[in-house]
Structure 1
């Protein structure tokens, strides 16, 4: 899956398929385009649980982290 990565304030990052980042929560913005990358289920990357990222993107439209720690209070499933 092609994922667009956006950076907000501090070490907050949003991961989404939306190339403009328009679906990311405004309260952490402004969001600035950081980079894009291909994420593959089952792949390992240091500090990242790729399957968790892809699950959140598929279900909720985005995945948020703060210093590589998942931000959960804004996700609909909690």
Structure 2
């Protein structure tokens, strides 16, 4: 299952991988403007720790992890 969210000019791509019945590991991939330098290579998949999660929690935790990563890259928002 996949979902893409837009946040501060970036896209957070969330992939859910089933681990057992109704439980999922969450993976995020951040795509953004090429001029923004980041520690990790853009487009690289990163597993969200702490899983597996229910489907709803997996999407929620992945979204928060992606937003926090972008906030670190860009600094505090307005």
TM-score for both structures, normalised by structure 1:
0.28
Of the two structures, which has the highest relative contact order with CA contacts closer than 8 Å and spacing of 6 or more?
1
TM-score by length of 2: 0.28
Larger Rg: 2
Q: Report which of the two has the higher share of helix.
A: 2
